Amino acid sequence: MIETVIETARARAGIGSHIDIDCFRNLLELIDDAVAKYPDKPAFSSLGHTLTLGELDRLSRKFAAFLQQQPQLQPGDRIAIQLPNLIQYPVALFGAMRAGMVVVNTNPLYTTNELEHQLNDAGAKALIILANFGSNAEKVLPKTSVRLVIVTQLADLHPPLEP
């Protein structure tokens, strides 16, 4: 019975039965393995731009180094990510994980009350947010433990538009 459930879940996620998911202790090991084997393969696409696994690795490591240099953050701290499906999301996610942070996914469509509750409930010390959603965050941040806000723009990590 449990084998059927596992196989169904693997099929839904696109994970073939030939992949030994038990050989990885965590998600970062899986990503590191994929980067080592397939650095030039596409990892994520957004708004017509694709990051390869190698680019994702390089950018997420740079972001992790940035987070580790922030004096208000320590490994184990919670970092909220309030981004829609943009190419910045996987960079922020894997960068935060590489820095030892605990990721708190935050719905970009939250009301101010919902956002305030989630940030406080999670004890988030930092917030990564799309500039478009900044007004709600600005209203609630003074009532939370968030001390670092990292803002990204829609076109960040995308090549310039060609004329």
CATH number where 55 lies: 3.40.50.980
| Structure token pair of residue 82 | 């309030």
- Residue 3 in any domain: the answer is no
- Alpha-carbon distance of 112 to 32, in angstroms, equals 37
pLDDT tens-digit profile of 2-49? Answer: 667 767 776 776 666 666 767 878 888 888 888 899 999 999 988 888
pLDDT tens-digit profile of 58-108? Answer: 999 999 999 999 999 999 999 999 999 999 999 999 999 999 999 999 999
- Residue 130 in any domain: the answer is yes
124: nearest Cα among 150, 154, 144, 95: 144
- Residue 31 in any domain: the answer is yes
Question: Domain range holding 107?
Answer: 22-152
At 138 the pLDDT is 94
- Residue 78 in any domain: the answer is yes
- Residue 148 in any domain: the answer is yes
Total domain count, the chain: 1
| Structure token pair of residue 140 | 């609630």
Angle at Cα 123 formed by Cα 120 and Cα 127, nearest 5°?
Answer: 90
1, 12, 13, 116 from 4: Cα distances, Å: 5, 12, 14, 41
Indicate the SS3 state at residue 157: coil
**Helix (DSSP H) and strand (DSSP E) numbers for the chain:** 6, 6
Reported pTM: 0.84
